[in-house]
A and B are shown apart, each in its own frame.
Chain A
Amino acid sequence: MIKKIKVTTLERILLIFVIILAIFTFSSLIILKNKCMFLENYNPDKIKFSKPENIAVLNVPCGNVIIELYPDVSKNAVERFKLLINSKAYDEVAFHRVIKDKLVQAGDLEFGRKNSLDYGKIGTGASGYGTINSELDSNFKFTKGSVGLARTFKNNTEDSQFFIILQDEPLFEGEYTPVGKVLYGLEILNKIKYQDHSEYVLRPDFINTLRMYE
């Protein structure tokens, strides 16, 4: 005859605790795996823009980042940026340089493409259109969300690479050519993959698409 064992109150509490812990662990794993959870994906069609012809939509793993370009500030740089956007040149190009809470950089069209990524040369590639002159004369304030063209150590070497800053950078003023500012979705860029010990990212995130709105 099997003797029936009575469950004590303490054992019941312990069981409930284990179940709660299991649920918490399971849900945490889902949340942690989905880095895009809780982020709003902005639909440009639902937003009214004062200058829609200067709106660019950058689609990245966690959604849309909506950028207003400033041709009045940097005529040539914006012209180059639009040229590359319209030729879909930025699609599937890596965010190869990412500094947590500081900046994301992408646009190496030669060595940063998803199907031909070259870790040894990434960041040094060219677009094939040649370099353009820096446009540094404006009093543009590099506040959080500003978009600028990257360059080498020397001025007048801007090409296709661009960066978006995630914090105010007053020292960038007069150093880098501004092209625009993020209007919506800056928080989405905080989720771009970065590495703690290096500015350059191994197995980086990629731009899905970058398109002009109109």
Chain B
Amino acid sequence: MRKFIIIFFLLFPILSAKADTIYNLIKIPNLKVYEINTKNKIKYFYASGGFRLGVEKNIECFSSDVKSLSSKYQTIHKNISQYSSNFLKKINLKYIVMCENLSISGTSTAGIPNNLMKTLIIDIKFNKNYFERSIHHEIFHMINDSFSNIFDEKVWKSLNKKKFKYAECSTCTDKINLSTYNKTEGFFTEYSKSTASEDMAEVFSYLMFDKNIVGEKIINDIILKKKVFFLKENILKIDSKFKFDD
């Protein structure tokens, strides 16, 4: 037994030197393949261990149990399947990373898009009331990162009431509630009021997740109606075959 242990420890560094293809591709450690044969060519990975990212290692996420992964994968896959491979290629999204308790500098977040790495990290333990919609919200950030010239913030801001001002950044405001307003007045949620890009992402998420609410709210809200039109028009500039909320 003792000899076996000695041999194991002698061999261990050799075995552990094997390269990690996923890490080489997207520079996130401790990931394993969950599903790679999908119709729209999205590759799903999951965290088999926790990881820290960023120059200051301020992005953190943890591994998840098989049961949670299985159920959340179905939900994520269902929502991401709404996007064609052609569209996903245009917005540079190829990899979905599923993990638990995602945070940036200690602040919880639903997802972190990374356009350069073609990756979207999703917290599978994010508030279940907003989980599905938040997937589309994060996808809009991928879209915006690829086509920021199309989604002109100045034009967007001009759609709001003259006196309204967004916060300086999405994390420097306490407007974080994601519940749908009964009386929208130009904004679907409180979080919409944080920044122009978050506002666009919120409108887009409703367009993709619940077109009934969108239809209902824009009847009496001219600002929201303009915002919905702006987004639809510009998304169709990226992909004329794009379908909202199939």
A199 to B13, CA, bound (A): 14
Instruction: Tell me the smallest distance from the CB of B160 to a CB of chain A, in Å.
Output: 37
Within 8 Å of chain B (Cβ to Cβ): is A169?
A: yes
With a cutoff of 8 Å between Cβ atoms, the chain A residues found around residue B13 in the complex are 196-197
Q: Mark B3-17 against chain A: 1 for CB-CB distance below 8 A, else 0.
A: 000000000011001
Within 8 Å of chain B (Cβ to Cβ): is A1?
A: no
A interface, size bucket: 10 to 19
A172 to B13, CA, bound (A): 26
**Interface residue ranges of B25-72 to A (CB < 8 Å):** 25, 33, 36, 41, 43
A199 to B22, CA, bound (A): 15
Query: Which of the residues A170, A171, A197 comes within 8 Å of B17, measured between beta carbons?
Result: A197
Determine if A100 and B21 form an interchain contact, defined as CB atoms under 8 angstroms apart. no
A102 to B21, CA, bound (A): 10
Query: Which of the residues A102, A169, A172 comes within 8 Å of B18, measured between beta carbons?
Result: A102
Determine if B18 and A99 form an interchain contact, defined as CB atoms under 8 angstroms apart. yes
Determine if A170 and B36 form an interchain contact, defined as CB atoms under 8 angstroms apart. yes
Determine if B36 and A171 form an interchain contact, defined as CB atoms under 8 angstroms apart. yes
A170 to B33, CA, bound (A): 11
Q: Mark B172-207 against chain A: 1 for CB-CB distance below 8 A, else 0.
A: 000000000000000000000000000000000000
Provide a sorted-by-A list of 14 A–B residue pairs whose CB atoms are within 8 angstroms: A99-B19, A100-B17, A153-B116, A171-B21, A171-B25, A171-B33, A172-B21, A174-B41, A175-B25, A196-B17, A197-B13, A197-B17, A198-B17, A199-B19
Q: Name B's A-contacting residues (CB within 8 A).
A: 13-14, 17-19, 21-22, 25, 33, 36, 41, 43, 94, 116
Q: Name A's B-contacting residues (CB within 8 A).
A: 99-100, 102, 153, 169-172, 174-175, 196-199
